[in-house]
Amino acid sequence: MRTVDPGTGTDADPDFDESSEEAESKSPPPSRRLLVLSAVAGFVLGGSVLGLLWGLSGVHAGALDDAVAACQALDRVGELPDTSRDTRPSLTPSLSSERLHRMMAARELSAAAAQVNANYQPLADHIDGVSRMVLSLHFNDISGQRHLTEAKEICGRI
């Protein structure tokens, strides 16, 4: 005899439930391994491409920005006093602290650019030579003047 379940309105035949359970146990559930494997592979590949692009885009752009900033700082130092004609160079007025800080900033920025990109090493070397001349206050140093000329030429090409 069949009875109707009052709550669902369906037949409450116990044989009906058993046959549906047997049907489910005979067919294997669909595998999700392929879906999970595809998701993991996509994540790894996407992360790798993004990391590669991010790493390559920042290296040379930062070096160029540092080199340009070094040239700008060197330019803001202004004209250095010419002590080659002074009979008493010890009485030559020193540079203001602002100009000295700009000179040191130019040296550090050019060194940072050279550390990232070796193409900026000549700029760093010449600005370092200028900074040594400025710090020693020997503005008539021929080597320092040559470094200043070379640094300005390199800055003109950047």
Q: Is residue 121 within 8 Å of residue 151, measured between CB atoms?
A: no
- Could you tell me the two tokens for 77? 């130092």
CA neighbours closer than 13 Å in the CB half-sphere of residue 47: 6
Nearest alpha-carbon partner for 67 in 109, 126, 128: 109
What's the pLDDT tens digit per position in 2-21?
Answer: 555 565 656 555 555 555 55
- The pLDDT assigned to 22 comes to 56
- Mean pLDDT of the 62-79 span: 90
Task: In whole angstroms, give the CA distance from residue 149 to residue 119.
Answer: 18
What's the pLDDT tens digit per position in 71-129?
Answer: 999 999 888 776 666 555 554 556 788 888 899 999 999 999 999 899 999 999 999 99
Burial class (CB in 10 A: 0-12, 13-18, 19+), 122: middle
Task: In whole angstroms, give the CA distance from residue 110 to residue 68.
Answer: 9
pLDDT band at 61 (very low <50, low <70, confident <90, very high): low
As a whole number, the mean pLDDT across the chain is 78
**16 CA to centre of own chain:** 67
Q: Is residue 130 within 8 Å of residue 74, measured between CB atoms?
A: yes
Q: Is residue 109 within 8 Å of residue 123, measured between CB atoms?
A: no
Q: Is residue 99 within 8 Å of residue 139, measured between CB atoms?
A: no
Q: Is the pTM of this model over 0.85?
A: no
